[in-house]
Amino acid sequence: MAGKKIIGGSAVTAVILLLIFSIALSSPQNYDRRESLEQSATCLDCHEGYEATLAGTAHRLSSDGELKSPMFVGCINCHDGWEKHLEEPSAETIANPSGLAAIDQADVCKRCHQTPHQQAMVTTDPHFRANLGCLDCHAVHNNPNKRLVKDDGENFCLSCHNEVKGEFHRRSNHPLQSANIRCTDCHSFDGIKDPAMAVGHNWKCQSCHSDDAGPFLYEHPVVYDHLVEGGGCTECHQPHGSPNDRLLKQPQNGTCLQCHGTPPGHRLNHSGLGTKLACVDCHSEIHGSYDNRLFLDPDLGNKLFPDCYQSGCHELNR
Ligand code: HEC
Ligand code: HEC
Ligand code: HEC
Ligand code: HEC
Ligand code: HEC
Ligand code: HEC
Ligand code: HEC
Ligand code: HEC
Ligand code: HEC
Ligand code: HEC
């Protein structure tokens, strides 16, 4: 009986290990780990000190004691053609992943990486459609940068997207440097569904601007893409920067007049006061309100005419 238990136990362990391993390393291109360990040591005979180019990174070479680690990494896991290379050592006999086509680079990395980011990068992402591969953005050896991105973090995206740089210097802008905002705070690289990578604009904006994003008792529906098709923060705001105040796409009342006419009462009542002030002077709770269906400043009465609600002409909660 005791024997059976042990067999049962090791079978379960084997299944669990198999699962872990098949998730971590699921391609037939992955060699037996002991072989990988031994062959990787051979590489160092000629490529002396190369282990140091990986030390301190996620790809540091695994040691004898780590044969069972799901994080196992050896030289031959990334460099195909090594068998031939050991017989005929030359640059021609071995693969350098950076010399491969985008899709083939991904095949190498896919042996260990199956994140949504990686899947997006070989399907819908605009970078893949522009023929960029993993190694246009990442480098493996001698790379001290976070997430092994190729370039120093701050300038990384701008090294290719110089065109957007100026937008962050407009009169109102997202202060990248001073507030330590990064491109990837807004641009998701896991956007399998959204080729422009700005998946869930609202959600991204809300992570920093929760006060402006509700939920409110009275919603201005355009603030949400689930309430109005194509709606969301970028309906009115230009996310990088704008020549107008508050990152608005249109100057002054132009923001409102894209969608609303000026209601007739605004010209007629109070000597046309509704046309003399900015819409948001009165409709100040523009993202949504807890008090008022028309997003009016709850203090409007005190600001303009002490009796505008009390007089019965306007109801605060109508
Ligand atoms: C007997 C010596 C020797 C051994 C062992 C050896 N290499 Fe090389 N390797 C070379 C030589 C020589 C070159 C060509 C260098 C050059 O052209 O500058 C080279 C070049 C390379 C390159 C560069 C290809 C390029 O695009 O420039 C890679 C990658 C490489 N080796 C990986 C490996 C790996 C992985 C192993 C272990 C499986 C290994 N080498 C084992 C001698 C060796
Ligand atoms: C995680 C994948 C990976 C591992 C592990 C790896 N390499 Fe590389 N190797 C690359 C990539 C990708 C490049 C292209 C340049 C880069 O990204 O740094 C490269 C480039 C090279 C080059 C060309 C010269 C250079 O530095 O650009 C040599 C030589 C090399 N690797 C040898 C090795 C040896 C030896 C080992 C083991 C100690 C090893 N590699 C482990 C992915 C890997
Ligand atoms: C043999 C397995 C293996 C291969 C092949 C491999 N990696 Fe990795 N990689 C790992 C492990 C293990 C980690 C650390 C754990 C993790 O983040 O999943 C890692 C982490 C990373 C990270 C995150 C680093 C960090 O600091 O958070 C990047 C980026 C990365 N790998 C890029 C690549 C690229 C690009 C390739 C293809 C050229 C590649 N890897 C191929 C095993 C591998
Ligand atoms: C356009 C540039 C770009 C391309 C192309 C790219 N990456 Fe990345 N990758 C990044 C950036 C930037 C990060 C860091 C994201 C962050 O900090 O939130 C990252 C993070 C990662 C990570 C760590 C986080 C995670 O999701 O696991 C891995 C692993 C990784 N990339 C692998 C790959 C592989 C494999 C490919 C190719 C199929 C690839 N990347 C293509 C820019 C890129
Ligand atoms: C190696 C160069 C390179 C790097 C690095 C790079 N990109 Fe790109 N990016 C491109 C190319 C090429 C395209 C496709 C052509 C285009 O639309 O400009 C693109 C497309 C885009 C698009 C879609 C543009 C559109 O009009 O739909 C966005 C958004 C974007 N990149 C953001 C980023 C962010 C954020 C980073 C940094 C994490 C980054 N890129 C890093 C080269 C790069
Ligand atoms: C505050 C959030 C945010 C930040 C930070 C941000 N972006 Fe964007 N970006 C967006 C949104 C949202 C869009 C889509 C614009 C739209 O739909 O009107 C966009 C569009 C883009 C485009 C497409 C072309 C264009 O100008 O419309 C590129 C390229 C781009 N961003 C690159 C970058 C780079 C590079 C950085 C970092 C320097 C960055 N973005 C920082 C939110 C942001
Ligand atoms: C990483 C955090 C972060 C994210 C994500 C973010 N912002 Fe910001 N935003 C800031 C900071 C910090 C400021 C400048 C300080 C301030 O005025 O609140 C700012 C300023 C603004 C301003 C101008 C405020 C003013 O008073 O002039 C607007 C409008 C704005 N953000 C809208 C957005 C939109 C729309 C998005 C999504 C596309 C977004 N933000 C995403 C952090 C963020
Ligand atoms: C219908 C157009 C519209 C939409 C949609 C919109 N905003 Fe605004 N937002 C404005 C206007 C107008 C102002 C300026 C109000 C003022 O000047 O008093 C503003 C101001 C802001 C400010 C700075 C002032 C403040 O309230 O602190 C931030 C931050 C902001 N919006 C974030 C967002 C976010 C996040 C979203 C999406 C959840 C969003 N906005 C959606 C029109 C809009
Ligand atoms: C992109 C289009 C769009 C923009 C821009 C926009 N709105 Fe709206 N607004 C709407 C929609 C849609 C509704 C809901 C209408 C409905 O329920 O009949 C609405 C509702 C309202 C209401 C409530 C009206 C009612 O009868 O219930 C007010 C007040 C309002 N908006 C004011 C503004 C102001 C002020 C601005 C400028 C800061 C603005 N809106 C910008 C689309 C927009
Ligand atoms: C002086 C303050 C004030 C200004 C400025 C103002 N509004 Fe109003 N608005 C009001 C008040 C008060 C109401 C409610 C009227 C009522 O109760 O009959 C209202 C109602 C509305 C309504 C919904 C009711 C209707 O008649 O359709 C819309 C839409 C609206 N305003 C849009 C705007 C736009 C767009 C602007 C800028 C061009 C603007 N408002 C400027 C005070 C103002």
Place of tokens 């699962």: 19
Task: Return the ligand number nearest the Cα of 274.
Answer: 10
Q: Specify the ligand 10 atom closest to the Cα of 278.
A: 5
pLDDT in tens, 39-72: 999 999 999 999 999 998 999 999 888 888 888 8
**Cα–Cα distance measured from residue 213 to residue 135, given in angstroms and rounded to the nearest whole number:** 37
User: To test ligand 7's pocket by mutation, which of 164, 174, 280, 284 has the most ligand atoms within 8 angstroms of CB?
Assistant: 174
Lowest mean pLDDT, pick from 77-86, 99-108, 121-130: 121-130
Q: Whose CA is nearest to atom 16 of ligand 9?
A: 221
Pocket of ligand 8 contains residue 236 by CB under 6 Å: yes
Pocket of ligand 6 contains residue 237 by CB under 6 Å: no
- Please report the pLDDT score of residue 203 as a whole number: 64
- Please report the pLDDT score of residue 191 as a whole number: 63
Pocket of ligand 1 contains residue 171 by CB under 6 Å: no
- Please report the pLDDT score of residue 295 as a whole number: 93
Q: Ligand 5: distance of its center to the CA of 121 in Å?
A: 12
Q: Which two tokens stand for residue 46?
A: 């000629």
Cβ 189 vs Cβ 120: under 8 Å: yes
Lowest mean pLDDT, pick from 63-67, 94-98, 196-200, 286-290: 196-200
Region 159-170: what's the mean pLDDT? 91
Pocket of ligand 3 contains residue 71 by CB under 6 Å: yes
Pocket of ligand 2 contains residue 40 by CB under 6 Å: yes
pLDDT in tens, 7-43: 333 444 444 444 444 444 443 345 688 889 999 999 9
Count of all residues that appear for the chain in the document: 318
Question: If pLDDT is split at 50, 70 and 90, which confidence band does 137 have?
Answer: very high
Q: Write b or e for each residue in 98-121: b if 16 or more Cβ atoms lie within 10 A of its Cβ, otherwise e.
A: eebebeebbbbbbbbeeeebbbbb
Burial group, residue 40, by CB count within 10 angstroms (0-12, 13-18, 19+): buried
- Mean pLDDT, the chain, rounded, equals 82
Question: If pLDDT is split at 50, 70 and 90, which confidence band does 109 have?
Answer: very high
